[in-house]
Structure formats: C-alpha cells, structure tokens
Amino acid sequence: MLVNLKEMLTDAMRNRYGVGCINAPNTTYLRALIDAAEEVNIPLVIDHAEVHDPLIPLERIAPDLIGCARRAKVPVAVHVDHGESMNFIMRGVNNGFTSVMYDCSKLTFEENVSRVKAFIEMVRPAGISVEAELGEMPTTLNDTHGGSSASTAYTDPDLAHEFVERTGVDALAVTFGTSHGIYEKEPVLDFEHLKRLREATGETPLVMHGSSGVPLPDITKAVAGGISKVNYYSYLAVESSRFAGEVIEADRAEGRPTFYHELVEKVYVHTKAEAKKLYGAFLNGFEYRRARNDE
Ligand SMILES: [Zn+2]
C-alpha cells in the first residue's frame, strides 16, 4: 500500500527498526526491492534521485513506482531523493510522490531553515512528508549522487535541535561518519555522536545517508541508536552488476549466448536475495507483522 513517509517513520521510530530507502531507477530493481520487502515483511521507501533523472525521467518511472507501491502487501512510500531544484521537486509532487527530501544542506543554516519551513507550509496540506538534511554529507569517488564535498563535519546536535524546532520537519538526515558513494576505506561511525543527535531531536525521525558500504552489524547498531530511515544504494547497484558479469562470463565459458531477458531475471533474483539480507539488518530483531497485529 502507498503510504505517507511520516506515518511509516513514526512506527519505525516507536519500535526501533529502520526502513530502507533505496533508489529504484528501473523496473527490475523496483520489483526486486518490493518483492524482498514483502517476503521479509518490512515497510520500504523507494525513491527517485535528481541525479538519476537524466537516466530515466521522473515522469517515465513515476507510474511504475506508484503502481507497485499501491499493489504492495507492505507499506511503501514513494520519495524524491536529494531534490535540490524546486522544479525537480515539484515534478515529484505533481506526479504523486508521497514525500520529498528537500536538500538545502549546502546552504547556510538560516537559508536551510527558511527554505525548508516555507516548503513544508506549501506541501503539508497535500499530505506530503518532508525530509531535510543538516550538516553536509561528505562524498567519495564515484558517488552516484554526483557530489563533490570533502567535508568531514558531523551534524551539530544544538543546531539539529534548533532546526527541528523551527521547521517541524518530518525527518532529518544527519551525518556522523557516513559518506555517499563507494568508500575508499571502511567507514567508522561515531555512535556517541548519534546518541547526542538522537537526544537533541525529540520526536523527529533521523535518517542515515551513505549507508551502503557500512558493515551490516554497524547499520543495525545505528538503527538501535535511533536511525529510522536507512538510505542505501551504491553497493547494491555494484553487486548487481558484478553478478551480471559473472552470469555472462559463465555463459561464455560454456560457449552459449546470454539472452538479455534471462540475464535480467537472474539479476532480479540475486538483487532480491541481497535486499532481503539488508532488510534483515534494518529490522534490528523487530517482527513487523506481529507488532501490527498486536496493536
Ligand atoms: Zn543521500
């Protein structure tokens, strides 16, 4: 079922599990991600990032995202990821997306507050949830989000407190050791800093970007420490490609052609299995179905 991000994250926060937020730039990924969520029984956020728009325009993928979300047996939110231009964000809003990340993290604190606050006032009446980011997330080589920042500053807990108070934002992306893209060395998360951020932000769900490449036990620890939305993509995308290469190589070694439709189907099965491992780590031991039935 298609749901609002705020409602989904409120449940995740209350029960200390994390929901994945994963880019779904094609129908193979979309099917793998949602089918895995149904099999594991966990809500999911699927998103379209502004940097993926040249690959597939939002208007082309939106009916697939929203249709699959509506038909899913688990709650699914359809989210604009890293919207920086108002034009892109409004294309998401006008095409039925249920939430938006309005990323003003590169601007000053005051500018970030005023733009996010004004945007929330505009879209909240339409039932759209808003995520913002505070503290510029570093990016690494081959970042699929096309970033270039070398900043290593973590989100300031006092500013995070002020930000959520002044904006009333539905979810806040914070930095405490992750980066976008492919890591050059294994990331080290500052869980003490996460604790301070969690304490400073009251009832606002927190989001961890750059989660792919973080060892799964550390992701679970971050969820236990108060992260409710886990943005994950780069490593999954690389793993699907690695697997496709393995299939093509195995066919070549046996002297048979690789048919595209068969290759895509194998990639779907493999990606779904990988996604299920991720979702298991995000659940942090929580059994989603039982909790829903108990309410
Ligand atoms: Zn991100």
Q: What does the pLDDT average to over 44-50? A: 95
What is the reported pLDDT for 114? 97
What is the reported pLDDT for 291? 53
Q: What does the pLDDT average to over 247-252? A: 98
Read off the pLDDT band of 295 (50, 70, 90): very low
Return the half-sphere exposure (C-beta side, CA atoms, 13 A cut-off) of residue 83: 25
Q: What is the whole-number distance in angstroms between the Cα of residue 121 and the centre of ligand 1?
A: 23
* CA gap 43, 279 in Å, rounded: 9
3-class state of residue 1 by DSSP:
coil
Q: What does the pLDDT average to over 86-111? A: 96
Q: What is the whole-number distance in angstroms between the Cα of residue 22 and the centre of ligand 1?
A: 10
Q: How many CB atoms lie within 10 A of CB 183?
A: 17
- Strand pairing report for 99-102 and 129-133: parallel
- Does residue 218 have an active-site annotation? no
Residue 78 DSSP class: E
CB 58, CB 85: distance < 8 Å: no
Residues that place a CB less than 5 A from ion ligand 1: 209, 231
Q: What is the whole-number distance in angstroms between the Cα of residue 270 and the centre of ligand 1?
A: 24
Sign of CA pseudo-dihedral 8, 19, 162, 145 = negative
3-class state of residue 149 by DSSP:
coil
Q: What is the whole-number distance in angstroms between the Cα of residue 136 and the centre of ligand 1?
A: 10
Read off the pLDDT band of 290 (50, 70, 90): low
* Lowest pLDDT segment from 122-126, 137-141, 177-181, 241-245: 137-141
Helix 157-167 to helix 109-123 angle (10° resolution) is: 30
AA letter at 243:
F
* CA gap 72, 42 in Å, rounded: 11
AA letter at 116:
V
Which of 11, 35, 47, 81 is labelled catalytic? 81
Nearest to 220 by CA among 291, 273, 285: 285
- At 88, phi and psi to the nearest 5? -65, -45
Q: What does the pLDDT average to over 191-212? A: 97
> Hey, what long-range contacts does 200-203 have (CB within 8 A, 24 or more apart)?
200/157, 200/158, 200/160, 200/161, 201/160, 201/161, 201/164, 201/172, 202/161, 202/164, 203/13
pLDDT, tens digit, 9 for 90 and up, residues 52-74: 999 999 999 999 999 999 999 99
Domain boundaries, the chain: 5-294
Q: What is the whole-number distance in angstroms between the Cα of residue 266 and the centre of ligand 1?
A: 28
Homologous superfamily (CATH) for 5-294: Aldolase class I (3.20.20.70)
